[in-house]
Structure 1
């Protein structure tokens, strides 16, 4: 197996309370060219995210002490939308269906093939697409705007403002697709997967987010409307 070459190293968060599994998955993913950070519980994984920034993808066990895998996924899905692969010994049909429907892009049962796991990681990342910005704890967009997803904050002209979980997740999805239009239907499905929510609700959140990050919300330079299609986050900006 040849080592994978990446233009920009993608970060994988592995969450499992079994040290042997953590070591196996970490070694295999690092050999494949990924940056890997590890955590032994859901709570420690949240702390890792706060310290290191968001991952491009997480591999998460379900049965862990304290905060289990589903609870961890619920927590992060409140404010972000990075993909998850569940890696677990639980092979009950109802759990698998629940995991795929509500929490994960893929579901792998233990024992597993490390090579297959890497292939599944690559497949999910290809489908999701690469993040247009480096996922540092504080992502600096330009001289006036920086974003801290883990703490749900933006810094605008040196002034720190809090974001709601929905605003944070909305901004993450738009930034993940920076330079491309994200359809209204896609945003509604990702932001409110279990609820029937209409476009007017999305417009309200777009409006409130613009109020917090734009120099002139009526002439946005970050989040622009593509009429009849959706919204896009611009990768390059001009002075207001």
Structure 2
């Protein structure tokens, strides 16, 4: 009953909570929900749609990965930690974060400080315990999204950057002038981080925290991986896609 009361309040105030996404001409952000309980998916989907988001739903980690493979990356994923069948939430996070920097909010019905600490350190941006208030969860999703640039440039399955470059994040490949080139997981994630803020300098320290959150890594290691990535996608290009700006960071340039 509490969920429905709060959901009604959310609906009544959707023009406030969702005004940014609902303004004409602004593309809605997409939230992927992965939970094996239909009731949770239905309640959360309703709240998110009323708040102005596009919603995708999956009932297992495998189904969520298939949605990403076929429809591209969402702006954020809400993932249940415990799922009865197949891949659990943590395994999904490991898989998707191997090739992207997707923001994730984890849900759980069991309170375990060890699990929460592990997830927050390694995989997700926030952790919400069930039962939850849809209104509060939507607010926390907005807070997480506010820390990330819109991901429109990296959302499609096969992203055509221009006539020379196509990127497939899920398959960890690019096509340079029609020729497929494989990327390593680190290279794919580096490219994703840069694409999130295409045209804007990305500070090396920020990149280090996103790529290696639990390691003490120096910029020399980043330079090596960035050099390899640039060699792959900037091969014989007179106007390189990735450039470095002294004192600012790396920039992915949209030609």
Q: Is 1:119 matched up with 2:134?
A: no
Q: Deviations over 1:73-107 (max 9, x none)?
A: 11111111010001111212222222211111111
Q: Distance in 2 between matches of 1:180 and 1:214?
A: 18
Counterpart in 1 of 2:214? 194
1 CA distance for matches of 2:31 and 2:154?
Answer: 13
Q: Contact (CA 8 Å) 1:224, 1:233: kept in 2 or not? A: yes
The aligned counterpart of 1:2 is: 14
Alpha-carbon distance, 1:69 to partner? 0.6
The two structures, once aligned, show a CA RMSD in angstroms of 1.5
Give the gaps of 5 or more residues in structure 2: 1-12
Cα distance in structure 2, aligned partners of 1:199 and 1:112: 40
Superposed, 1:221-236 pairs within 5 Å as: 221-235=240-254
> Deviation string for 1:104-151 (max 9, x for gaps)?
111111111111111111111111121251611111111111111111
1:148-200 residue CA offsets vs partner (Å, 9 max, x unmatched):
11111111111111111100000000010111111111111211122222222
Q: Which residue of 2 is the match for residue 150 of structure 1?
A: 170
TM-score by length of 2: 0.87
2:7 match? none
- Is 1:83 aligned to 2:83, yes or no? no
Quick check: 124-133 or 58-67, which moved more? 124-133
Is 1:17 the equivalent of 2:36? yes
CA distance in 2, matches of 1:149, 1:10: 18
CA contact (8 A) 1:132 1:178 kept: no
In the alignment, structure 1 residue 71 sits paired with structure 2 residue 91: yes
4+ residue runs of structure 1 moved beyond 4 angstroms? none
After TM superposition, the score normalised by the length of structure 1 is 0.93
Please give the residue correspondences for 1:68-217 in structure 2 after superposition, counting only pairs within 5 Å: 68-133=88-153, 135-216=155-236
Q: Distance in 2 between matches of 1:156 and 1:195?
A: 32
* Equivalent-residue separation in structure 2 for 1:81 and 1:134 (angstroms): 10
SS in 2 for 1:101: helix
Counterpart CA distance in 2 for 1:195 and 1:182 is: 19
Segment drifting more, 169-178 vs 188-197: 188-197
Contact 2:34 2:57 in 1 (8 A): yes
Q: C-alpha distance in 2, partners of 1:18/1:183? A: 40
Could you tell me whether the CA contact under 8 Å between 2:203 and 2:250 is conserved in 1? yes
- How far apart are residue 216 of structure 1 and its match? 3.2
Counterparts in 2 of 1:175 and 1:134: CA distance versus 1, 3 Å: closer
Q: Is the 8 A contact 1:41 1:66 kept in 2?
A: yes
Q: Where do 5+ consecutive residues of structure 1 fail to align? A: none
Answer yes or no: is 1:52 the counterpart of 2:71: yes
The count of residues paired between Structure 1 and Structure 2 equals 235
